[in-house]
Structures are given as C-alpha cells and as structure tokens.
Structure 1
Amino acid sequence: MLKLGFCITGSFCSMDDMLYVLKELKDDYDIEVFLTPNVNTMDTRFYSHVELKEKIQEITQKEPHTTIQEAEVYGPMKKLDVVLVYPCDASTLAKLNHGINDNAVTMLIKSSLRNQTPIVLGVYSNDVLYASGQNLLSLMGRKHFYFVPMYQDHYKNKPNSMIACKKKVKDTLNCAIQHLQYQPFVLGYKEV
C-alpha cells in the first residue's frame, strides 16, 4: 500500500471537503496526517480543534502529527510515496514558495522534497486570482509540485477566490506519482 502524507492547513471553511477527501483515500493509502499549529489549536465556527482532530483520528485510526520534530523524520527515515496538502491555504502557499519552514506541514514538505517525493496542493484561497496568484504560479514552475484542479467557487461574490475540486484528488495523486500534472488544471463551473 502506498504511503501518503496528508497535510491540513487553515482554510477552515473547507474542513468538510477535507474530511470527504480523507475518507475517499483511506482504503487506498497508508495515511499519516500532519497539522499546522492553527488547525491543531484553533476553534472556529465550523469545528472545535478537538472535534476536528477526533474526526480525523476516527477516519485514519492514527494520531495526527503536529510538531516539526515529528515531521522531520519523514525525509531521511520514513519515506512517503506522495504528499497531499488539502486544503492548502494562502499562507502555506506563500511559505512553500519562499522556503519558509516553521511547522509540521512545511517541514514534511521540505523533508519529502529531498527524496523527490511528489507534493500535491489542493489550494483553497479567497485571493488566488489576486495576491496569492504569484505564489501559485511560481510553484507551478517547480519540480515535484502538482495541483488539484481548481475552479471559482463563488465567482460573483468572491471573484478572486478559487478552490480545489475534491472529486479530482484521486486522479491528481495518481498522475503526480508518475510525475505528471493532471489536466485540465482549471475547471469550468459545469465540470465540477
């Protein structure tokens, strides 16, 4: 069974989508979950941090990793076949683009890249067609980064927002393992 690093960052409105994807992947992958500090400690209008971690553990039957020390060993010693960041928020996108390594998620990605492990990003951002777009485009041009196809979720109310299509995650992972970007990268509203 392939080993998957499943990273969860603070796009809190997308946690139901994240739980859907985690359930979809649990039978196909041996999953290790990694949380950013905000996901690990913040209560939101969507979930308390305790409730969210309980739901994750219920699906994976494992405790999530929350520290840099826990993530670092996945580079040299506990190699993964693929890493998925779902959701990947704008802050994490910027950190990856600029080489900032300050939490379990960014450390896992740094450690995994040393092994040329494919990194799949499922971006959820209200400003990906504005300020965050430069980080997305920069990472698209780098080796070992792949993206879950995206679409504008509410183009009238949030014209700069795009989110990853949860139904395309499996196909994107399969392509990324072969070092290919799943296409099309941008989806029309009717394709979602």
Structure 2
Amino acid sequence: MPRLFFGLELPANLKQQLLRLRVPVTGARWQSRHQLHLTLVFLGQVPAPALPALLAAAAGVRGAPFELEVRGLGTFGPPEQPRNLWAGVVPETPVAELHHRLVTAMGAAGVATESRRFRPHITLARFARPAGSVVPLLAARADTGFGRWPVSEFVLFDSTPGAGGSVYTVRRRFPLMA
C-alpha cells in the first residue's frame, strides 16, 4: 500500500536558503534538499482500490493560486529539547483554506486523513533524544524572511521510508484554479 500525502513543493532557491540553516545540534536529523516541502494533508497507507476516488476528489479541489513567503523559525516541543524545527509561511490563510478543502474532499471520497490541528510549516530537522537546544538559532533567525514563491499547484506525494529518512516522489500534480 502506498503511503501518501498532499503537499506543496518548494522552488530550488528557497530550499537552498533553508539548507543554509544547518548548524550542529545534538540529535538533529536535518532534512535533505529532496525532503523539504510543506505538508497539506497526510493520508498514510492508502489501499490501491481507494486511489481512483482519491485522485478524482483531489482533481475537484478548487482554489486560486497564491503567493507564500517562508518566514521565521519555530519548534514543536520546547526549543531547549525540540521534537522538530520548522520554518513558517505567511500568509497562513490560503494554505489553511487549501488544507480544509482537501480534507473535505477526502472525507467525501471516503479517504481518512490525519486529525491533528493543522499548522502550515516546512520541517527542517527532526530530533532524536536527547535533543540539543535550538534557542540560539531561534534567537538569531526567529523572524528571518527566506524568500517568496508563487503557489500554482498542489502535489500528491508518495512517501517511502529509507535509511536516510523518507524519500518523497511526486505521484500527481493538481493545478490551482479559481
């Protein structure tokens, strides 16, 4: 069964900016250039018979293209011992609206989605225990702008676990149209 999620691809110039943030931190597993993305909706393991309905539902999702700026850093978990380090995006509203439309479409198609609260972000590093502090990095870059990009599509990704972290492969692209 494929492990799937919907997300936004980042342009190469933004990935390059984010890769420059890598500093030595205990327990940090930094994301590679190929792993940087913004997750919209995580689906998990999807049975093959559900794929046609999933793809049809995603193709019916509408929304106007928008522009995002990657700005600021934050953590899941306390900055002294984070679980994840992430970069934020502004404005969050168009991303949250696209997330909501996708969740609604998947529900109508009978495809289960993750139920935790959605917070638009780009994961930069995941941490093993014991995790080192990222307080100095946050203090230095908390509100840094890393660049903008026009969002004109969302993507269905296949996620394959690997020794160096998950490998993400584009399965299908869906253009945004008003």
Q: TM-score when scaled to structure 2?
A: 0.24
Which of structures 1 and 2 has the bigger CA Rg? Answer: 2
Which gives a bigger RCO, structure 1 or 2 (Cα 8 Å, sep 6+)? 2
Hey, which of these two has a bigger chunk of helix by percent? 1
Q: TM-score when scaled to structure 1?
A: 0.23
Hey, which of these two has a bigger chunk of strand by percent? 2
